[in-house]
Each structure stands twice: as C-alpha cells, then as structure tokens.
Structure 1
Amino acid sequence: MPRTAPASANAPRTDATIEDRILDAALVQFEQVGVKKTTIEDIARKADVDRVTVYRRIGSRDDVVRAVTGREIQRLLAELREIPSRHATFEDIVTATFATVIMRWRSHALVERMVTLEPERLLPQLTTEGGTFFVISVHATADILRDVVHEKNFRELPDLVARVEVACRVVHSLILQPAGTIYLDSDEALADFAREYILPILTR
C-alpha cells in the first residue's frame, strides 16, 4: 500500500502535524476496512510514521478511535458555527443546525460502515463511553446559540444549557435509532420536525 506523502517535503513535522496525519490515516483506514480489521501498523504505514509514534502520540487502537471520533465531532461543531451567518431568523438557524447534524451523521462514511458492520464498537462511543463528547456538544451548541442571541439581538433564552441538552438528547436518539413512525428522510421533513418539536424546546 502506498504511503501518504507529507503536505510539504520541507514542512517541519510538529506534534500537531504528526497527530493530524495519524488521525487522517486512521479515518481513511477505518472507512475502508473497519476498525476491527485495522491494526496500529496499518495506521502507521498510511500515516508514514512508525507504530511507536502512533502509540506515543495517540495511544492504543481504541484511543485512536476515540481521537478520530472527537475530531469528527469538532469538525461538525465548526460547521455549525458557520450556520448563523447564513440565516436571518432564530427559527432558520435552529432548523438548519438540526438538519445539518442529522444529515452529516447519516452520510458520514465511517458512521455508515460501523453501523452496518461493527455496531458493537460504535454504540459504546455514542452511549456508555460517549458522555464526554455529549457534554462537549451540549456546551458548544449552547455557546453558538448564546452568541447568536447577542449578535443578532434575539430574545434571551432562559435556562439555555438545559434546553439545549434536551434538544441534543432528541437528536442523539434520532441518530441512535433512525427508524420510526416519523418521516425524516428529506431536508424538508427535518426542517418541519425542527420547527414543530425542537424550536419549542428552546424558545417556550
């Protein structure tokens, strides 16, 4: 298997660069063959480092999985922070945020593979071992909405963190169990659901 070339032959291999390369390589490897069939050696080879570097910088394979998951969540949160600049009303911001979260997780190559082939490995990341990521997501989302309220002079939302956590728990359940009696398979359906059920949680 060919090795991934560094971004620049003259670029210094800083800690951040090495860790990013390892996580990039791991994400591709997990998407291609799954976690179960991936070894530290596979990740090291694709990242163009030795296996000791992977252990030293990130840790075991389970640590790599957690690091990859955490980074993907941070990437999604970064995308959510850009949404308010594209919408004028609080309703539109909430519906767009809700739809983006659901659609990104549904279409994520790694999530799709693990849901299909390795649910026993993914589910703990989203449930019993996912408390830290969930709390981070709640506070980050609350921060985004708090900034929106202040910057756009919307009405202040009391108990914002608690309201966001309730909304996040609804989103979390939809990710864990997408099947149900409510049709949510289009952007329009997701927006309608957000207006009917998510928006009142945040505003009433």
Structure 2
Amino acid sequence: MKFCFDLFPVILFFLTFKFYDIFIATAVAIAATIAQIGWLWFRQHQIEKLMWINLAIIVIFGGATLLVQDEMFIKWKPTVLYWLIASVLLVSSLVLRRNLVEIMLEKQMSLPAAIWNKLNLSWVVFFLFMGVINLYVAFSFSVDTWVTFKLFGATGIMLVFIILQVMILGKYLEQAPEKILAAYEQDNLSEKIDNKPGKEQ
C-alpha cells in the first residue's frame, strides 16, 4: 500500500500525459505531490525529509517547465533527485562518518561494518546509474517513451535491485533472529546468576 502511495504522483503524471500533454501532466504531478504531503501531515503530523526534497525539486523543475513551456526541465527532475540522494549518502559516509543506510535498516538486520559500507556504496552507485539512465532515455527517445519509462522502467529497475540485495543479504537476515535469541538467552542467564540465592549483593 505504501509503495502505491509513494508512486501516486508518478501514476497521475503518467495517466494525465496519456490523455492530455506533458505540461498538464507536470501541473498535475506538482499538485499531487503537494496533496500527498498534505495528507501525510494531516494523518501523521510528520513528513520524511526525502519527501520535502522531492517536493522542492518537482516545484522548481516542474514550475520551470510550465513557466517557459519547455519539457527539458521536468525531464531533468528525476536525475537531480537521484544524484542528490547519492551525494547525501556518500558525503554522510565519508565526511560525517554516518552510514544512512545502516541507520535506516539496522533494526531489520545485523550486518558487519564492512558489509554496511558496501551496501551504502551500492546505493550510491545505483542512484548515480539511475540518474544517467533517466537522461539517456529522456533525450534519446520520445517524450511518450520517457514518461512510460519513468513509471514502469525506473520502478522495475528499482524493484530488481532491491530483490537482488535481499538475495545477497539473505544469510544475514536469517542470522538476525538467531542473534537476537542468543542475546536474550545470555541476558536471562546473567539475570539468573545475579538472582541466585546466597549470592552476595
């Protein structure tokens, strides 16, 4: 459900383009993104930083597209977002010594530090690659092809990448419950020893 909700502006962009044109579709995408954030704020009173960034980028590049009636700006929007995410992941890791991928996923899996670093780097490379692919499709093919790729192609590549990562990290996901259980049993054992009758306090 969340996946479809996240794609809501892109789906409306695609459908509107099929019935009208790129400019009306751009206006609808901007409105849909604003509505999406408004709904989340109404329900949760909390918005992820990435959604604010996405809103700012689509307002700037979508607004430029509408202002000068040039589709080039909206075509650049996905690439700017992809490259910005890649830059944040890379700078946070190298400069701030904070692995953002680890921070987001550490509750779901337990990985060695070296694997977390490789995982973070793999996402950096992936988003850089996605930015290049978007530009290639946007400026090498028709607008219709690019709009279709934006919904189906980019989403499909993302899903394949995630599935491959889950397969590669599968053994760590399997080991995580065992580590949690072992830690729980160790805590229980320590508590029993501490509470053993006759033990000095």
TM over 0.5: no
Q: Flag the structure with more relative contact order, 1 or 2, with Cα contacts below 8 A and sequence separation at least 6.
A: 1
The structure where helix makes up a greater share of residues is 2
* Structure whose CA Rg is larger: 2
Task: State the TM-score, normalized to the length of structure 2.
Answer: 0.30
